[in-house]
A and B are shown apart, each in its own frame.
Chain A
């Protein structure tokens, strides 16, 4: 029983990270029709910015404060970098979807290489507040505390994004843009501002996923972005392109099934996720073309 609880909480924590990456991907695709391959680069940039800032903040003795400050810097860098990518690389190729995808592909290759060039191929250790490394007892299971952080962050982001989309003017523009971009433009609303905003939000969420993955794996390496991105792609496809709630449900399913299968049949959890994707595609291919926000 205790193993089951541990697996469940860990699976949810993993799913939380997938969701943070997938939410940005899904929103960007829903609004702009861009498959953003550079999303993994946003994650890597955010995670490395946090690690780098923390290593430079030796003057502050409190680890918690250092980690919080560094995380804020990492989040800001991730969001800024994403917004910059949209403005400089994506915007000039407006409506040329295939070229936009190719540019993000080039960017993801170049950024990973750049990070490797600057900080090397080896993983970098994350210094985090002790509380994250301690454990809590739930239902007889010993749960590392950072799992709660992952789940909490994902729930907050989901609730925040939902509220933002529902109750703010920009959220309204984004929802309308996902529904029918041409009509929104025809009504005289500059939908391009929403594009930059969505990229910044996506970059922020990806950077958050990067920081949390740094805490979860206790280190960060240049390939982290790409490996999480692939699972986020699977989540987005299972959940339905452009659907936030779909991504949330799918990330929970993917995270949990990965953990369960990994435990009960020696380490084929990653493969089972691909199998799950194949089954979903065979069962209901029609929903995958859907574009709902």
Chain B
């Protein structure tokens, strides 16, 4: 019965979200154009993708205590491998998905195997370096595959017709919703599985898990590969939603953005990153629009300049959240110390086992 109730909430939410393209109304200034307009649906679709990608990052950061600064690499892998396979190699969509899935499993396995030789802060730096290698590779534009700074549009003739064109935005929205649901289900199932319990134990106290006779590195690698693979899937869906690949998602800033989403929402929870990812992207897009609006542009320069930069506003909000809301959005309702738990319990994990201080 309890289990049924636990599942009923999310199912009701998904059903509600699935009917969004049928809504004729809008939300005034908060969502101009009405729910069913293609612009709004595309915005909501990307929100759902980032909800899923943020949750895949939380699997590493919030549940296993791995502070990776290279999650952008796997999202970008999904985006670029699929795009290059479709557009430059003229593969069918199905073949492109297969090769992307292959790369999405092998790449994090290799990178994870190397970087997990370190822990704590060194792990963060090493994953950042690998992600940077990916960003440089995209920038260098080998064989003119990636398009460098200009990004790479995609060849829509090789993509199923249901996902092409403005008329079909609602299908893309449903695809993004499906992706978010799959990630949520996968992460919810994984963290309750037997390795999932080991991940959370590693987060709490890695040495104690080692003393129990478990090889923590294998479990960490499993979390790393699963989280990265889920992010790769997000990259493919993102490719369809924004009609091409853009180098901005390969940069370290994008990983930091994911970190901001997770912490704002509430790390180490399932709903926190979902909320954080969706709200962050929505806020980012709306702040861009609001920043160019008359109300902001007529302010004096001292206020106008910072407020017209979404990243400045969100970065400042993030700092404030770390100080005053360490449990994130989902921690607001929790009483006393429970709400502050989110980041606190990651403390031991970050310091790693090699650090005695």
Q: A residues touching B (Cβ–Cβ < 8 Å)?
A: 29, 33, 35, 37, 89, 92-93, 96-99, 101-103, 105-114, 116-118, 180-182, 226, 230, 233-234, 236-237, 241, 267-268, 270-271, 273-274, 277-278, 281-282, 285, 288-289, 291
Contact B306 A117, beta carbon cutoff 8 Å = yes
Q: Name the prevailing secondary structure of the A interface residues.
A: helix
Contact A109 B256, beta carbon cutoff 8 Å = yes
B355 interface neighbour in A33, A112, A233, Cβ under 8 Å:
A33
Q: Name the prevailing secondary structure of the B interface residues.
A: helix
B343 interface neighbour in A33, A98, A181, A233, Cβ under 8 Å:
A98
B121 interface neighbour in A35, A96, A271, Cβ under 8 Å:
A35
Of the listed stretches B43-51, B179-187, B316-324, chain A binds B316-324
Contact B357 A291, beta carbon cutoff 8 Å = yes
Give the 7 A-B residue pairs with the shortest CB-CB distance, closest first: A289-B354, A110-B315, A113-B311, A109-B315, A113-B312, A285-B117, A106-B318
Residues of A contacting B117 in the complex (Cβ-Cβ under 8 angstroms)? 281-282, 285, 288
Contact B122 A271, beta carbon cutoff 8 Å = no
The verdict on A99 contacting B129 (CB below 8 Å), with A107-B315, A270-B136, A285-B118 known, is: no
B257 to chain A, nearest CB (A): 8
Contact B260 A109, beta carbon cutoff 8 Å = yes
Q: How would residues 312 to 340 of chain B score, 1 for a CB under 8 Å from any chain A CB and 0 otherwise?
A: 10111011001100100000000000000
B43 to chain A, nearest CB (A): 21
A282 to chain B, nearest CB (A): 6
Contact B129 A98, beta carbon cutoff 8 Å = no
Contact B122 A97, beta carbon cutoff 8 Å = no
Residues of B contacting A101 in the complex (Cβ-Cβ under 8 angstroms)? 67, 121, 124, 350
The verdict on A102 contacting B252 (CB below 8 Å), with A35-B121, A289-B352 known, is: no
**B130 within 8 Å of A (CB atoms):** yes
B173 to chain A, nearest CB (A): 29
Instruction: Pull 22 A–B residue pairs with CB atoms less than 8 Å apart, ordered by A.
Output: A35-B125, A97-B351, A98-B347, A102-B263, A102-B343, A113-B311, A117-B306, A182-B357, A226-B252, A226-B253, A237-B118, A237-B125, A237-B129, A241-B121, A268-B140, A274-B132, A278-B114, A282-B117, A285-B117, A288-B122, A289-B352, A289-B354
Residues of A contacting B125 in the complex (Cβ-Cβ under 8 angstroms)? 35, 233-234, 236-237
A271 interface neighbour in B137, B305, B315, B316, Cβ under 8 Å:
B137
- B interface residues, how many (CB within 8 angstroms): 51
The verdict on A99 contacting B326 (CB below 8 Å), with A112-B311, A113-B309, A114-B309 known, is: yes
Residues of B contacting A97 in the complex (Cβ-Cβ under 8 angstroms)? 347, 350-351
Query: How far apart are the CA atoms of A236 and B131 in the complex, in Å?
Result: 17
Residues of B contacting A282 in the complex (Cβ-Cβ under 8 angstroms)? 114, 117
A109 interface neighbour in B318, B322, B346, Cβ under 8 Å:
B318
**B308 within 8 Å of A (CB atoms):** yes
Contact B311 A230, beta carbon cutoff 8 Å = no
Contact B252 A230, beta carbon cutoff 8 Å = yes
Nearest residue in B to A110 (C-beta to C-beta)? Answer: B315
Residues of B contacting A278 in the complex (Cβ-Cβ under 8 angstroms)? 114, 130
Most buried by A among B119, B316, B322, B326: B322
Contact B122 A277, beta carbon cutoff 8 Å = no
Query: How far apart are the CA atoms of A29 and B117 in the complex, in Å?
Result: 19
The verdict on A114 contacting B312 (CB below 8 Å), with A96-B344, A274-B132 known, is: yes
Residues of B contacting A291 in the complex (Cβ-Cβ under 8 angstroms)? 355, 357
**B259 within 8 Å of A (CB atoms):** yes
**B245 within 8 Å of A (CB atoms):** no
Q: B residues touching A (Cβ–Cβ < 8 Å)?
A: 67, 114-115, 117-119, 121-122, 124-126, 128-130, 132-133, 136-137, 140, 252-253, 256-257, 259-260, 263, 305-306, 308-312, 314-316, 318-319, 322-323, 326, 343-344, 346-347, 350-352, 354-355, 357
Query: How far apart are the CA atoms of A148 and B53 in the complex, in Å?
Result: 46
Residues of B contacting A89 in the complex (Cβ-Cβ under 8 angstroms)? 319
Residues of B contacting A233 in the complex (Cβ-Cβ under 8 angstroms)? 125, 128-129
Nearest residue in B to A92 (C-beta to C-beta)? Answer: B323
Residues of B contacting A96 in the complex (Cβ-Cβ under 8 angstroms)? 343-344, 347
Residues of B contacting A117 in the complex (Cβ-Cβ under 8 angstroms)? 305-306, 308-309, 312
Residues of A contacting B114 in the complex (Cβ-Cβ under 8 angstroms)? 278, 281-282
Nearest residue in B to A266 (C-beta to C-beta)? Answer: B140
Residues of A contacting B354 in the complex (Cβ-Cβ under 8 angstroms)? 288-289
A114 interface neighbour in B67, B121, B306, B319, Cβ under 8 Å:
B306
Query: How far apart are the CA atoms of A96 and B322 in the complex, in Å?
Result: 11
B80 to chain A, nearest CB (A): 16
Contact B128 A98, beta carbon cutoff 8 Å = no
Contact A234 B256, beta carbon cutoff 8 Å = no
Query: How far apart are the CA atoms of A9 and B346 in the complex, in Å?
Result: 44
Nearest residue in A to B314 (C-beta to C-beta)? Answer: A109
Most buried by B among A29, A114, A291: A114
B115 interface neighbour in A103, A108, A113, A281, Cβ under 8 Å:
A281
The verdict on A29 contacting B309 (CB below 8 Å), with A97-B347, A107-B315 known, is: no
B316 to chain A, nearest CB (A): 5
Query: How far apart are the CA atoms of A114 and B311 in the complex, in Å?
Result: 8
Contact B124 A99, beta carbon cutoff 8 Å = no
Nearest residue in B to A100 (C-beta to C-beta)? Answer: B322
Most buried by B among A37, A181, A233: A233
